Amino acid sequence: MKTDIFNGKAFSGNIDRETEKLVERFVSIQGRKPKLLIIDPTQSEETKVYGRSKIRKADKLGIETFPLFLNSPGSNGNPLEIMENIISEVNPDGIIVERPYPYWLDSFYIEQIIPEYLDIEGISIKSQGKNMIGYPYILPATADAALRIILSLGEDHHKDVCIINRSTIVGRPLAMALLNKDFTVTVCHSKTRNLKEITESSDIIVSAIGKPGYIDESYISEGASLIDIGTTEVEGNIVGDVDFNSVSGKAAFVTPVPGGVGPVTTSVLFSNMMKASIDRIEERLNF
């Protein structure tokens, strides 16, 4: 069997072209560039690298960025108060808060203080709640990227999907979104006992466990589609959860790492931001 390899660059390029049109429309109405506030509390060099890549992407799309690096409490004041003040000062059209959150930053509080209309990551309480009851507005970007890729395959919506991740930014929102599309979904995690039995009987496998090469040919059925969200650095290289050499020839479709879900996720962030911004403008104009 020939294994089709997903081209994340081409796929994300299509999303970017639509986003550019929305940016142009925004500027024509508002008379300014859309503004994105990027809050980084992680103090992580890796996150700073990802942040710079988002800034470059935003610049290409015509979006103005405002990076904010939060320090731990006591160094420069209360970080949450600083964050609220910056949001008020910048008056952005979208907000990103980089992960993983440090121990001193209450994720629940973050998810409450970010207004739903600025939540381009889909992490606010309202955004998550709407997804759970079947009325999603904005999904977390990685889950949204995986969903778009799956739907692009033209798969029968009655197929079985196994998601190996139960986080609130990948596994859970993706599971609900797929259920809303009539897929049959099984969510697995580190405590799942019969993982191989579940994956072998699944048409589509989404893996985000961060174990390099964990999913090999023994975990999949002939003709399965594999969405690899895992990213782990191994000897200076970024490696996914799927052992590509092992599954090649048995899987029908694989997203590579790097170059697969990653670039789509970044493009989805800006797509979400601009769609939400235009929706707000149109709502105001039609009021």
State the pLDDT confidence band at 178, using cuts at 50, 70 and 90: very high
7 is in an annotated binding site: no
pLDDT score for 72: 64
For residue 223, give the DSSP letter.
T
CB 127 within 8 A of CB 137: yes
167 is in an annotated binding site: yes
Average pLDDT of the residues of the chain: 91
How far is C-alpha 48 from the chain's CA centre? 17
State the pLDDT confidence band at 73, using cuts at 50, 70 and 90: low
pLDDT score for 148: 97
| Cα–Cα distance for residue pair 35/110, rounded to 1 Å | 20
State the pLDDT confidence band at 106, using cuts at 50, 70 and 90: confident
Quick one: what percent of the chain has pLDDT higher than 70?
97
Structure tokens at 278: 């235009």
pLDDT score for 233: 86
pLDDT score for 212: 96
Cα torsion at 250, 191, 230, 219 (round to 10°)? -10
Residue 207 reports pLDDT greater than 60: yes
Tell me, yes or no, if the pTM score tops 0.85.
yes
165 is in an annotated binding site: yes
Quick one: what percent of the chain has pLDDT higher than 90?
66
231 is in an annotated binding site: yes
Mean pLDDT of 109-120: 83
Residue 74 reports pLDDT greater than 70: no
Residue 45 reports pLDDT greater than 70: yes
Residue 278 reports pLDDT greater than 70: yes
State the pLDDT confidence band at 186, using cuts at 50, 70 and 90: very high
Residue 32 reports pLDDT greater than 90: yes
pLDDT score for 287: 57
Q: Smallest Cα–Cα separation from 242: which of 228, 232, 231?
A: 228
CB 97 within 8 A of CB 107: no
pLDDT score for 4: 97
Going from the N-terminus, what domains does the chain have, and what CATH number goes with each?
31-117 (3.40.50.10860), 141-261 (3.40.50.720)
pLDDT score for 117: 86
Residue 95 reports pLDDT greater than 60: yes
Residue 237 reports pLDDT greater than 60: yes
State the pLDDT confidence band at 78, using cuts at 50, 70 and 90: confident
b/e for 71-104, b at 16 or more Cβ within 10 A? eeeeeeeebbeebeebbeeeebbbbbbbbeeeee
Taking the CA of residue 23 as centre, how many other CA atoms within 13 Å lie in the half-sphere pointing to its CB?
A: 21
